[in-house]
Structure 1
Amino acid sequence: MFKTQPYPHQQMAFDLFKDKSYFALFTDMGTGKTKMLLDIAAYKYNKKEIDCMVILAPKQVVPNWTFIEIEKHLGIPHTVAQFRNPMKVKEKEQIFNLYLSKKDIGLRILTMNIDAARCKDGFKCLSNFLAKFRCFLVIDESTSIKNPSASVTKNLLKLSRKAWTKAISTGYPAPQSCLDYYSQMEFLREGLSGFKSFFFYKCFYAITKKIRVKQQTREDEDKPKGFGREVTIVTGFKNQDKLTDLLDSFALRIKKEECLELPEKIDIPQIIELTTEQKKVYVEVAKRCMSELAEDQEITVTSAITKIMKLHQVACGHVKLDNGDWIDLPNNRLETLKNIVEELPDEKIIIWAHYKKDIENIHKMLGESSVTFYGDTVDTQASLAAFHNDPKIRYIIINPKSGMSGLTLVESSLNIYYSYSYNLEHWLQSRDRTHRIGQKNNVRYILFYCKGTVEEKILSALREKKQLSDEILNNITNYVKEGMKV
């Protein structure tokens, strides 16, 4: 019944979950989660357990499902329609046909950007399909619902009760902490977490303490020391053995190194020297941050990261003014990138850049031989198609948040990390875009950083797979002090 032959680990997942009403695939990027889900859908359709499949995924991943993966792996009759908001006339007709057709059109498959579940039309569309059909409801990259208070999470928890079968999949189910599991479990089955609310779940698994945060308003300037808003922060975790046992009852964890013979990952650090102008601005920003730290009653993760990223921006060659404007600083980063790509005239190269300003500067330098993939890209799928198929397009410049999931870029084996996000999930997932099934060459990662700056600390923490938010909060004062000595 398989259209494409499964790897042994994919066969294992199929055998384990084909008769389950809910399950989770917590398997590494590049291990073929999409095929596993489609094989199980085909099995359930043939057994007449389902007649519809609804796939919710991040915006950039949906076209991969709609136009590539389903056709590649699904070996049963099927009809696919993609919900968009807003939709063109033809797209509306496809949705109506999928919903209303009385003909035998095979397995009905609705694909949708998960964020559409928070809007009125998206919620109504999902509700109608789930009410009318025996649906297999899937969330791909299920960390999209890790926040219990988010509107999209609340809507999907309500809608999930109507589905006949449910599945979630992601390579990194808990990018921040074990608290990220709660909503994902509740989506699969109400009460699966073992608690009636996130509050009680957090009390059981998290170690917390209360702190007082300084208010950031002029009216509070004359208030006594210690005045402020009391908040609860997480300082550690407990009962992890019980959580592991619970996850093992419905989830499968597969690591790439356990099931695939993939080429080696090779990190190549590339030191970028700060210019005299950068050093001057870096020290000034560090002094300002140190002054702000001295005034703070309590340092929160958000305020600490904000200060660190200001220093990081200077290291990358630009600074953001209070009015929102960006100023470029003389720097060696672009010139270093230019020298590297000129030495590799025949390679397709992926360039990862965290800041919009970096992406714009790189794209301007590389010109028509490059395409972009980030929030301001008009047509990301056109960019991908050009990078895949057009020999004149040698470079794709990607924001890690935009491109961390759903992309397969195995035609390239060279990644250049021009600038970094502090988010560990962005780092881990972006590295797996090229290191996955289909890659035949060793994958190289050229890692730009300015020695002696916070960028060196950020890169070190990411490579050691540390949660950077915790690392920054615990070491913010030392990082800023060091910045005053560059």
Structure 2
Amino acid sequence: VRSRPPRLWGLESPSHWPEFMSEHLPALRAAGWQVEMPVDFRHLVVDVDSWEAEIGEDAGGWFNLDMGIVVDGLRLPLAPLLYDLFRNDARWLDTAQLNKLPDQAPVILTTPTGIRLRVQAGRIKPLALTLIDLFDAPPGHGPLRLSRLDAPRLARLAEMRRWRFAGVEAVAKLAHSLQHGAGIQPVAPPAGFALTLRPYQLEGLAWLQYLREHGLAGILADDMGLGKTAQTLAHLLLEKEAGRLDRPCLVVLPTSLIFNWKREAERFAPGLKVLSLHGKERAERFAAIPEHDVILTTYPLLWRDEALLAKQEYHLLILDEAQTVKNAASKAAQAVRRLSTRHRLCLTGTPLENHLGELWAQFDFLLPGFLGEAKGFTKTWRTPIEKHGNGVRRDLLAARVRPFILRRRKEDVAKELPAKTLIVRTVELQGGQRDLYEAVRSAMDEKIREAIADKGFARSHIVILDALLKLRQVCCDPRLVKLAGAAKVKERAKLDQLMDMLPELVDEGRRVLVFSQFTSMLALIEEELLARKLSYVKLTGDTQDREGVIRRFQDEGVPIFLISLKAGGVGLNLTAADTVIHYDPWWNPAVENQATDRAHRIGQKKKVFVYKLVVAGSIEEKIIALQDKKAELAAGVLSEDAGALSKFGEADIRALLAPLPMGKG
């Protein structure tokens, strides 16, 4: 303290005020000094006397969280103070920075009247990590509202020390059950089930029973090939044997899975009466719905037949390959939301393929309102996570959805599954094919740049996708490209590579699946197989006798199966195969993995070899690099070890359209 005019003293620097107010001022008061100051004195910092919270439950099944602090005997709502703090200090949005912030670090909260409150960071960190999404808009002075399905995060708050919590009993039991699976008791498989379930499948059955018992819904998201259909059939049969199946169950699935569901129900659960509503003659079968246990329909037919299906109330509504309804605005997605059912279930090996909106669409069907409306979800979760890499939001979203997703990986639960070996076969474009690639690339690069300059990146997607398509077609075979000069190109590097491989593989006794996204490419491969007199079968969206084609490959020894990725990438059980060839890669690794899992699944007794045919230096190599980025987005929400999140933007486009490296012409 330095001298001022008589009877007036001051501090050497304004920076000394916090120390003076927190340490010396209390000492002066203790010594008998009378201290007076205006309530708006800018250096006045007040300590909080106590922290209070009360949890209540309203009639709609929502929890109300009322948080407050007591200062000099006056209770103040805490939520508005936290809103200002979180909005103005970016540290509270970053998990890494929060973890580095000491619990004892001082934090200043400012009341609407200007009073500055001194609190420790440790008081607020749990609130940021569990409730940050509730502060996107000014919360007002009323309680915060949370879904009953958010009981686990309320329970975590109730565990905070030095808080006085009231009403926590309302959430503790539900939270414990949701978060830890408490109360999930082992169940015996149904007596009439003709398949011995593995231990992890019995756990899946118990989980499905638990969801039904507690009126919850969820996603069975096991890896492809781990038997989601079998677990679900066991669940349905158990419901019937227990006398709970007083209404039919409706299963909505891709057309390609109709045969598989019927066959597995006949083999494993013959006690279930299954009705397939597929084909032109289906109209006369609707009257028989009440007489059956399981009704099968497809996504394309669902909205067309909605009026007839809606006449029946269902015990359980199941979406198989539920990522099919990732577009919540599609007719099928809207139709499933309007059907009346007691329980809901999603089956998918890839609950998140491209973006978080797909996960929202599935939860909006399963647990309406849990993740809010689509617009609010984008603002609260998608944009912060996908565009800004917000780790706090990512971890919180993962924690919220985790109780409702059961996901097991092959390597974790099916150790007996033979090893899968991935081999990338790289080929170089030569001569006219290389020239064609460069000509198309250069022209499309210029076209895209003009489109982006004119309309912006977001409105140039059609031009971009057309460019990527043409370059991929050149890599596959010049004849796929609808350009006058393309038909004259004689070089077909990748097709030559494939036709070098197939005769040798067949001679070795291998059974081969060849996947392509282009049915026109499969037709060109078919011509080569006919010329070489190699036996094969083919499955595309135009195939009428799917069952016959599958039987010829599985049971009659045909060595080569040509499959379009869209028609046969999911739902087929092709364990006779021991070799998978991806003729053309795609940016979404989940799609390729699903196709590979037609062979690499439970029931496979041989080692599986997976070949990717890739043109060196081309768009295809860049696509494989992008696959890792897409996988990270899924991992960030579906697994506990969240990786970095990334997005697809202009820099990726520039990389995809880079020239071929110098090589032989």
Contact preservation (8 Å) 1:400, 1:430: yes
Residues 23 and 250 of structure 1 are in contact (CA less than 8 Å); yes or no, is this contact kept in structure 2?
yes
Alignment correspondent of 2:66: none
1:431 aligns with 2:596: yes
Cross-structure match for 1:407:
572
Q: Deviations over 1:337-381 (max 9, x none)?
A: 222121122222100112122111111221371121222323333
**Counterpart residue type for residue 280 of structure 1:** D
Q: Deviations over 1:17-51 (max 9, x none)?
A: 21423222011101111111111112222232223
TM-superposition CA deviations, 1:448-474 (whole Å, max 9, x none):
111111112223433676489945743
Matched, 1:383 2:383: no
1:259-318 Cα distance to aligned partner (Å, 9 max, x none) = 001211111221222120011111111110221133122234554333223212111122
Could you state the TM-score of these two structures normalised by the residue count of structure 2? 0.62
- In the other structure, the counterpart of 1:246 is 400
Classify the secondary structure of the residue corresponding to 1:343.
helix
Q: Which residue of 2 aligns with 1:124?
A: 307
Quickly say closer, same or farther: Cα 1:464–1:294, change in 2 above 3 A. Answer: closer
In structure 2, the residue matched to 1:336 is 497
Query: Is the partner of 1:61 in helix, strand or coil?
Result: helix
Give the secondary-structure state (helix, strand or coil) at the position aligned to 1:144: helix
Correspondence 1:223-302 to 2 at 5 A: 239-261=393-415, 262-295=417-450, 296-297=452-453, 298-300=456-458, 301-302=461-462
Among 337, 345, 353, the alignment partner of 2:516 is 353
Match among 366, 371, 374 for residue 198 of structure 1: 374
Provide the residue aligned with 1:42 in structure 2. Answer: 237
Matches within 5 A, 1:20-419: 20=212, 21=215, 22-51=217-246, 52-66=248-262, 68-74=263-269, 77-87=271-281, 91-99=282-290, 101=291, 108-119=293-304, 122-130=305-313, 134-159=314-339, 162-193=340-371, 195=372, 197-207=373-383, 239-261=393-415, 262-295=417-450, 296-297=452-453, 298-300=456-458, 301-318=461-478, 319-321=480-482, 329-344=490-505, 345=507, 346-367=509-530, 369-391=535-557, 393-419=558-584
How far is the alpha carbon of 1:237 from its aligned partner? Answer: 5.7
Quote the offset at 1:152 in angstroms: 1.1
Per-residue CA shift, 1:54-106, capped at 9, x if unaligned?
1111110111102x11112225x33211112422xxx555443343x5xxxxx
Contact conserved, 2:277 with 2:285, CA < 8 A, in 1?
no
Structure 2's unaligned 5+ residue stretches are 1-189, 634-645
Once the two structures are overlaid, the 10-residue window that deviates more, 304-313 or 429-438, is 304-313
Distance 2:388 2:568 in 1: 31
SS at match of 2:457: coil
CA shift for structure 1 position 153: 0.7
8 Å CA contact 2:440–2:470 kept in 1: the answer is yes
| Whole-angstrom CA distance in 1 between matches of 2:608 and 2:658 | 36
Determine which structure has greater relative contact order: mean sequence separation of CA pairs < 8 Å that are 6+ residues apart, divided by chain length: 1
Matched letter for residue 480 of structure 1: L
Distance across 2 between alignment mates of 1:250 and 1:302: 36
Whether contact under 8 Å (2:585, 2:614) holds in the other structure is: no
User: Is 23-32 or 78-87 further displaced after alignment?
Assistant: 78-87
The residue number in structure 1 matching 2:586 is: 421
Q: Deviations over 1:180-211 (max 9, x none)?
A: 11121121232232x1x2111111102279xx
**Partner Cα distance (1:378, 1:235) in 2:** 47
CA displacement 1:246-271 (0-9 Å, x = unmatched): 22222211111110012111112212
Give me the whole-angstrom Cα distance separating, in 2, the residues matched to 1:245 and 1:376.
43
Return the letter of the residue paired with 1:335. D
Question: 1:400–1:421: 8 Å Cα contact kept in structure 2?
Answer: no
**Distance in structure 2 (CA, Å) of the matches to 1:374 and 1:277:** 30
Pairwise CA distance, 1:326: 7.3
Structure 1 length-normalised TM: 0.84
Aligned partners of 1:461 and 1:467 also within 8 Å: no
Identical-pair percentage: 22
Residues 379-428 of structure 1 show CA distances to partners (whole Å, capped at 9, x for unaligned) of: 3332212211222x221111222222111111111011111233333112
- What letter corresponds to residue 245 of structure 1 in structure 2? A
Give 3-state SS (helix, strand or coil) of 1:274's partner: coil
Cα pair 2:224 2:349 within 8 Å, conserved: yes
Query: Distance between the aligned counterparts of 1:372 and 1:467, measured in 2?
Result: 34
Deviates more, 1:56-65 or 1:267-276: 267-276
Describe the shift of the 1:245–1:444 C-alpha distance in structure 2 as closer, same or farther (beyond 3 A): same
1:449 partnered with 2:634: no
Conserved? CA contact 1:354–1:399, under 8 Å = yes
2:105 aligns to what? none
- State whether residues 494 and 615 of structure 2, in contact with CA within 8 Å, keep that contact through their aligned partners in structure 1: no
Larger Rg: 2
